[in-house]
């Protein structure tokens, strides 16, 4: 006779939030910035995990590590996380590799690393840091936060478009490049999806003009411990 | 290529606007923060060739659209493709002379001409100007519908009209319009008698329609002449008709049929009549109707009353006395104290037929008597030279001894002189007198010994020396007339037509009594010209030879006329074509621009 057990252990999760200047942007004053939107997502995920008695930690980074909260499963942890979200950020660079590596260190045994970023970073560097996290046995999920105006150019006329985190400036007539831009963005998203899939990481695009419940459910559908 | 409004070519400078904008499109001051600028840069790099091509295409389309619009505004015409026709001053001349009333193939030819005219005018566009000119030189212009209505109202004239004058007038109207093309469309039956010679029309384009085929056979009353003009009360009527075969005729007088007869060939017949009516009486001679009804009836008028009384004095001469005897016997005159016929120095009162004395010695007494009678003429020095008289009833009469007649004051009115000899007045007439410049002897002239002497004398007595029945006028329809003083209107068909400042005969044939107040004081007989009854036509080649203009097209098929009317040279307006091209450019530009417009945000995932 064989007796079967289902062991139930608490999960340890690290939320990695990109707070660089590019995240502090919205294509419309009627919408939240990507950062504000991502912070709400972070708070929601943290609350869910803590209610399940899972341990949650937080790493915020821009051009340096801004916040590092070790994973805890206590109720006070959520308040610490929310307070940390109000700390300054908006640096002129995204040191994503450091953030992910720090998150991987926060959880000693295999857990979950959830990255929230607009992914306006070098793809190879990011892939390398995620590969390290995966090697440590962590499950990695990337939530790609995008403003609708980044998906499709919805402005008109000619302008000089500049990147707030770099010296990059592009002069363009919106009507001329609208289609090509959309195709480029879709292509980039598909690239991210394929690269992360190859690493065994989850990937989901979340638009700041839509409720984040649906993409979160999709992103964590395989995580049975999440509702 | 020519331009009707070349000033608008200045708009072509507007094509520089898209070029300028294209060159300056990168000079922009608007800066927008956009974190995903890297994707924008990538998009531009990956599509740089397509974007350049698209921008070039947009610039080209915008430039072309402006170029086409500027050219269209200048209203170009060229011998290229195009729609419509060049703006045309179009004058349609409808020949509505009497001959076009002839029935051909079951309908009047005029109605066919009107149908062609309407189809021509219907082809006019807003840039065209149209007029209608009829053979009486009446002009109707204005809106196309007004001209169409005028064509619908055209009726055949009662006579010959003035077709060549109408065509010349039409050419003047067309040229005066100042449009790029002046076209005169002539719709005629090609009646040969209407085209006696060439018509010079200057720089207009002429499109003429003349029907082919043989003209219909036509018989016409050519003669309905009362002799003398004043019946007392007997008289004769000279009747004649055209045509080679026999035809029956009927004479009506005062509305009653008074005689019938048969005319053989083109003979003339004398019909003796003695009407019971008195005063002015209207009559007509008519034939059985044929294809041209307008000339199957010819009108006349006669004054019926007592014969004038004549008193012949000894100085009148033997020939005059015997002629008067003959007139008395035929009851055309009576003897009495009415009209004196005598030598000039014998006449005691007017009315009188005054004859120059045979003896030049009496010339002084004769002139004194003329002065006493209030006659403005005087006898000049006697001339003894053989010459020929010119004048109605005395044409060709040799004159050997004569007194040239001279006015004592001022010049003579042309109508006062009835005959001349060597260009000098020989027989003159005025109120109550007729003065002859030669004695009535065989030595002085051949007049008293020639056959026309008796009718001449009768005519002088009844038409010039009798107050009643002397006001008989004859005219063609619509022709200008000279009325006796005091005439207030024409009475015809129970209507009285007012007399204008420049009186013309009514356009319909008939007898019109002259009214002075409520009194009938004369008659106006309106009959068509005899040559209008000859319907033989010119060939198309002959007709073309008559018309002298820049371009003459003769069409024998009425369906060709509307096409030729606006086919002024090979040049056509390109305005519509250019507008279409500009529209196509703008539509193309819009489609290219709209391709880049957002079609709803696409889900990234």
Nearest to B598 by CA among A181, A29, A188, A30: A181
pLDDT of residue B250: 93
> Which domain does B124 fall in, by range?
88-215+535-568
Q: Find residue B519's DSSP bridge partners.
A: B516
**Shortest Cα–Cα distance, A137 to chain B (Å):** 27
Task: Sort out which chain B residues have CB atoms less than 8 A from A215's CB and list them.
Answer: 605
Residue B605 lies in a domain: no
pLDDT reading at A74 higher than 60: yes
pLDDT of residue B133: 93
**Shortest Cα–Cα distance, B13 to chain A (Å):** 25
Torsion angles phi and psi, residue A87, rounded to 5? -70, 155
pLDDT of residue B603: 35
Residue B602 lies in a domain: no
pLDDT of residue A223: 52
**Domain-ending residue, one of B426, B449, B464:** B464
Three-state helix/strand/coil letters over B37-104: HHHHHHHHHHCHHHHHHHHHHHHHHHHHHHHHHHHHHCCEEECCCCCCCCCEEEEEEECCCHHHHCEE
**Domain-ending residue, one of B409, B436, B464:** B464
Strands B107-108 and B205-209: unpaired
Residue B600 lies in a domain: no
pLDDT category of residue A226 using cuts at 50, 70 and 90? very low
Burial B565-601 (b: 16+ CB within 10 A, else e): bbbbeebbbbbebbeebbeebbebbeeeeeebeeeee
Answer whether B38 sits within 8 Å of A183, measured CB to CB: no
Residue in chain B nearest A121 by alpha carbon? B38
Quick check: B28 contacting A, CB < 8 Å?
A: yes
Helix, coil or strand: residue A82: helix
Helix, coil or strand: residue B286: strand
Quick check: A84 contacting B, CB < 8 Å?
A: no
Residues B378, B517, single domain; the answer is no
Would you say B319 and B333 are in contact if contact means Cβ atoms under 8 Å apart? no
pLDDT of residue B1: 66
Residue A166 lies in a domain: no
Task: Sort out which chain B residues have CB atoms less than 8 A from A119's CB and list them.
Answer: none
Nearest to A33 by CA among A90, A98, A113, A83: A90
Residues A86 and A60: their CA atoms lie apart, in Å, by 11
Residue A188 lies in a domain: no
Weakest-pLDDT range from A85-94, A139-148, B160-169, B357-366 = A85-94
pLDDT of residue A93: 67
pLDDT of residue A94: 67
pLDDT of residue B284: 93
Residues B143, B278, single domain; the answer is no
Answer whether A163 sits within 8 Å of B30, measured CB to CB: no
Q: What is the mean pLDDT of chain A?
A: 81
Quick check: A91 contacting B, CB < 8 Å?
A: no
Quick check: A32 contacting B, CB < 8 Å?
A: no
Would you say B487 and B514 are in contact if contact means Cβ atoms under 8 Å apart? yes
Answer whether A204 sits within 8 Å of B39, measured CB to CB: no
Residues B381, B423, single domain; the answer is yes
Residues B491, B581, single domain; the answer is no
Q: Collect all residues with Cβ–Cβ distance below 8 Å to B59 and sequence separation of at least 6.
A: B18, B19, B22
Run of H or E residues at B22: helix B16-24
Q: Which of A152, A161, A204 sits opposite B40 (nearest CB)?
A: A161
Alpha carbon dihedral A171, A175, A180, A183, in 10-degree steps, equals 120
pLDDT category of residue A227 using cuts at 50, 70 and 90? very low
Helix, coil or strand: residue A179: helix
Helices (H) and strands (E) in chain B, counts: 12, 38
- Full DSSP string of A100-116: HHHHHHH-SSS-EEEEE
pLDDT of residue B538: 87
Nearest to B225 by CA among B508, B474, B452: B474
Task: Sort out which chain B residues have CB atoms less than 8 A from A177's CB and list them.
Answer: 40, 43-44, 47, 51, 596
pLDDT of residue A64: 75
> Model pTM?
0.53
Answer whether A164 sits within 8 Å of B35, measured CB to CB: yes
Take residue B581 and report the two structure tokens written for it. 């091209």
Would you say A186 and A150 are in contact if contact means Cβ atoms under 8 Å apart? no
* B84 phi-psi bin (left φ>0, alpha ψ -120 to 50, beta other): left
Residues B246 and B70: their CA atoms lie apart, in Å, by 74
Length of chain B: 605
Answer whether B604 sits within 8 Å of A189, measured CB to CB: yes
Residue A208 lies in a domain: yes
Complex ipTM more than 0.90, yes or no: no
- Residues 197-226 in A contacting B (C-alpha not used; CB under 8 Å): 204-205, 207, 215
Quick check: A177 contacting B, CB < 8 Å?
A: yes
Residues B325, B241, single domain; the answer is no
What burial class does residue B214 get, using C-beta atoms within 10 Å of its C-beta: 0-12 exposed, 13-18 middle, 19+ buried? exposed
Residues B555, B524, single domain; the answer is no
**Shortest Cα–Cα distance, A186 to chain B (Å):** 6
Weakest-pLDDT range from A179-183, A219-223, B18-22 = A219-223
Length of chain A: 227
Take residue A154 and report the two structure tokens written for it. 């919805």
Task: Sort out which chain B residues have CB atoms less than 8 A from A184's CB and list them.
Answer: 39-40, 42-43, 46
Task: Sort out which chain A residues have CB atoms less than 8 A from B32's CB and list them.
Answer: 155, 159-162
Would you say B184 and B209 are in contact if contact means Cβ atoms under 8 Å apart? no
pLDDT of residue A14: 85
Task: Sort out which chain A residues have CB atoms less than 8 A from B31's CB and list them.
Answer: 159-162
Domain count, chain A: 1
> Which domain does A69 fall in, by range?
12-148+201-216
Residues B155, B99, single domain; the answer is yes
**Shortest Cα–Cα distance, A214 to chain B (Å):** 12
pLDDT of residue B601: 36
Residues of chain B with pLDDT under 50: 568, 599-605
Take residue A172 and report the two structure tokens written for it. 């363009």
Task: Sort out which chain B residues have CB atoms less than 8 A from A162's CB and list them.
Answer: 31-34, 37
Q: Which of B30, B43, B603 sits opposite A181 (nearest CB)?
A: B43
Q: List the CATH number of the domain containing A66.
A: 3.40.50.410
Answer whether A184 sits within 8 Å of B31, measured CB to CB: no
**Shortest Cα–Cα distance, A176 to chain B (Å):** 6
- Residues 3-22 in A contacting B (C-alpha not used; CB under 8 Å): 21-22
Domain count, chain B: 4
- Full DSSP string of B337-394: SSEEEEETTT--SSSEEEE--SSGGGHHHHHHHHHHHT--EEE-S-B---EEEEETTT
**Shortest Cα–Cα distance, A134 to chain B (Å):** 24
Residues B335, B292, single domain; the answer is no
Residue B603 lies in a domain: no
Residues B34 and A163: their CA atoms lie apart, in Å, by 5
What burial class does residue A47 get, using C-beta atoms within 10 Å of its C-beta: 0-12 exposed, 13-18 middle, 19+ buried? middle
Residue B430 lies in a domain: yes
Q: List the CATH number of the domain containing B184.
A: 3.40.50.410
Residues B239, B291, single domain; the answer is yes
Q: Collect all residues with Cβ–Cβ distance below 8 Å to A170 and sequence separation of at least 6.
A: A160, A161, A162, B34, B37, B40, B41, B44
Residue B491 lies in a domain: yes
Would you say B383 and B401 are in contact if contact means Cβ atoms under 8 Å apart? yes
Residue A49 lies in a domain: yes
Answer whether A153 sits within 8 Å of B601, measured CB to CB: no
Residues B316, B368, single domain; the answer is yes
Residues B458, B336, single domain; the answer is yes
Residues B541, B517, single domain; the answer is no
């Amino acid at each position: 006779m064989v007796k079967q057990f289902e062991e139930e252990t608490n999960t340890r999760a690290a939320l990695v939030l990109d707070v660089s200047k590019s995240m502090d942007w919205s294509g419309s004053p009627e919408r939240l910035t990507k950062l504000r939107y991502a912070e709400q997502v972070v708070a929601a995920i943290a609350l869910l995990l803590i209610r399940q008695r899972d341990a949650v930690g937080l790493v915020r980074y821009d051009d340096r590590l801004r916040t590092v909260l070790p994973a805890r499963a206590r109720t006070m942890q959520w308040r610490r996380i929310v307070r940390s979200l109000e700390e300054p950020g908006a640096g002129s660079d995204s040191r994503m590799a450091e953030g992910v590596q720090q998150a991987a260190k926060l959880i000693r045994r295999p857990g979950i690393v959830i990255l929230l970023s607009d992914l306006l970073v070098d793809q190879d560097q990011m892939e390398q840091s995620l590969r390290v996290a995966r090697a440590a046995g962590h499950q990695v999920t990337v939530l790609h936060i995008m403003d609708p105006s980044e998906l499709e150019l919805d402005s008109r006329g000619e302008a000089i478009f500049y990147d707030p985190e770099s010296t990059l400036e592009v002069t363009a007539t919106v009507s001329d490049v609208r289609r090509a831009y959309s195709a480029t963005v879709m292509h980039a998203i598909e690239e991210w999806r394929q690269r992360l899939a190859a690493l065994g990481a989850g990937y989901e695009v979340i638009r700041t003009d839509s409720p984040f419940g649906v993409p979160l459910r999709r992103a964590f559908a395989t995580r049975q411990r999440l509702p | 290529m020519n331009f009707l409004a070349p000033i608008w070519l200045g708009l072509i400078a507007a094509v520089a606007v898209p070029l300028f904008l294209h060159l300056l499109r990168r000079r922009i001051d608007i800066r927008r923060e956009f974190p995903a600028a890297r994707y924008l840069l990538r998009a531009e790099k990956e599509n740089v060739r397509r974007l350049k091509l698209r921008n070039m295409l947009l610039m080209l389309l915008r430039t072309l659209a402006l170029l086409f619009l500027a050219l269209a505004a200048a209203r170009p015409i060229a011998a290229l493709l195009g729609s419509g026709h060049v703006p045309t001053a179009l004058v349609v001349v409808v020949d509505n002379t009497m001959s076009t009333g002839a029935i051909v193939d079951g309908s009047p030819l005029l109605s066919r001409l009107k149908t062609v005219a309407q189809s021509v005018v219907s082809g006019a566009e807003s840039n065209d100007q149209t007029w209608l000119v009829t053979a009486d030189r009446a002009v109707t212009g204005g809106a196309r519908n007004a001209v169409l209505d005028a064509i619908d109202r055209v009726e055949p004239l009662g006579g010959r009209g003035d077709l060549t004058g109408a065509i010349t007038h039409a050419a003047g109207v067309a040229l005066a319009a100042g449009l790029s093309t002046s076209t005169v469309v002539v719709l005629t039956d090609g009646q040969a008698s209407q085209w006696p010679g060439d018509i010079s029309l200057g720089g207009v384009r002429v499109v003429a329609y003349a029907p082919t085929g043989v003209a219909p056979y036509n018989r016409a009353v050519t003669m309905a002449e009362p002799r003398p003009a004043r019946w007392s009360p007997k008289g004769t009527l000279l009747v004649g008709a055209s045509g080679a075969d026999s035809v029956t005729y009927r004479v009506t007088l005062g509305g009653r049929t008074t005689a019938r007869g048969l005319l053989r060939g083109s003979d003339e017949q004398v019909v003796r009549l003695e009407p019971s009516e008195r005063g002015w009486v209207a009559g007509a001679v008519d034939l059985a109707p044929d294809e041209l009804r307008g000339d199957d009836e010819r009108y006349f008028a006669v004054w019926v009353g007592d014969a004038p009384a004549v008193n012949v004095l000894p100085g009148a001469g033997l020939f005059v006395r015997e002629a008067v005897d003959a007139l008395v016997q035929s009851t055309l005159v009576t003897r009495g104290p009415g009209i004196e016929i005598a030598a000039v120095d014998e006449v005691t009162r007017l009315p009188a037929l005054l004859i120059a004395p045979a003896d030049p010695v009496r010339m002084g007494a004769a002139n004194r008597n003329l002065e006493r009678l209030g006659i403005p003429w005087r006898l000049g020095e006697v001339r003894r030279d053989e010459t020929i008289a010119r004048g109605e009833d005395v044409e060709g009469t040799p004159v050997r001894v004569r007194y040239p007649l001279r006015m004592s004051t001022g010049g003579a009115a042309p109508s006062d002189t009835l005959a001349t000899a060597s260009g000098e007045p020989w027989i003159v007439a005025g109120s109550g007198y007729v003065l002859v410049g030669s004695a009535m002897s065989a030595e002085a002239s051949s007049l008293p010994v020639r056959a026309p002497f008796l009718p001449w004398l009768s005519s002088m007595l009844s038409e010039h020396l009798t107050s009643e029945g002397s006001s008989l006028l004859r005219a063609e329809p619509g022709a200008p007339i000279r009325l006796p003083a005091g005439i207030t209107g024409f009475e015809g068909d129970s209507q009285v037509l007012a007399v204008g400042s420049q009186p013309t005969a009514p356009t319909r044939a008939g007898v019109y009594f002259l009214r002075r107040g409520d009194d009938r004081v004369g008659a106006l007989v309106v009959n068509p010209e005899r040559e209008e009854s000859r319907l033989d036509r010119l060939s198309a080649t002959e007709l073309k030879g008559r018309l002298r203009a820049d371009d003459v097209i003769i069409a024998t098929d009425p369906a060709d006329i509307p096409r030729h009317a606006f086919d002024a040279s090979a040049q056509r307006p390109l305005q519509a074509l250019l507008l279409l091209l500009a529209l196509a450019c703008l539509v193309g530009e819009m489609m290219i621009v709209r391709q880049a417009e957002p079609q709803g945000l696409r889900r990234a995932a």
